[in-house]
Amino acid sequence: MSRGSLAFGPLGERTIHLCVDMQNMFALDTPWRVAWLPEILPKIREIAERQPHRTVFTRFIPPARAEDATGSWRRYFEHWRQFTGECIDPRWIELVPPLAALVPPAAVIDKGTYSPFTAPALSQLLRARETDSLVVTGAQTDVCVLAAVLGAVDHGYRVVLPVDAMCSSSDRTHDALLTLYRERFGQQIETVDTATVLSNWR
């Protein structure tokens, strides 16, 4: 894809790169492995290295035990008990090494649900930096990235999605989400490529 312009103009100094859950648990040979993750990693790294001081990485942190979870999350972690704190290899929680190397100056926000907006630390950071726009990348398009995108829309942020910097374990639902964003959220979400983001964010 060639570099183009963004529908609502260039990105400014109040933009944050929000990178969702690029963790070893999705990169290594685990039941949650996402095969596309190595393919998008260079694009995410390119964005993060260009703006490391304006990058925020999220990490999905399971509860210590399935019994510590509430509501349907308890059933979820009873099914995925090997990912609870008492069973998981701690290295699985960490960011993939090429991105972990950027912290600091990049920041890390931990969350216990799909949406990073349930973590008070994220809202505090965004307010402190007077954020008005979010470039959202990461995994997975149809789960945690979806929750991040809709949370950002609900909070009134301009959302820019470099579609070659996000992935899912399901091509079908990845494509369906991109169609949804383009056809139903045109005033709030811009879907572009990484080259367009970088050429419009000085």
**How do the domains of the chain map onto residue ranges?**
15-199
Query: How far is residue 202's CA from residue 138's CA, in Å, rounded to a whole number?
Result: 22
Query: How far is residue 202's CA from residue 12's CA, in Å, rounded to a whole number?
Result: 7
Over residues 108-134, the pLDDT tens digits come to: 999 999 999 999 999 999 999 999 999
Identify the three-state secondary structure at position 167: strand
- List beta partners, residue 55: 17
- Euclidean distance between the first and final Cα of the chain, in Å? 20
Mean pLDDT of 54-67: 98
Question: What's the pTM?
Answer: 0.96
Over residues 143-202, the pLDDT tens digits come to: 999 999 999 999 999 999 999 999 999 999 999 999 999 999 999 999 999 999 999 998
Q: Does CATH place domain 15-199 in 3.40.50.850?
A: yes
pLDDT exceeds cutoff 90 at 91: yes
Query: How far is residue 61's CA from residue 42's CA, in Å, rounded to a whole number?
Result: 24
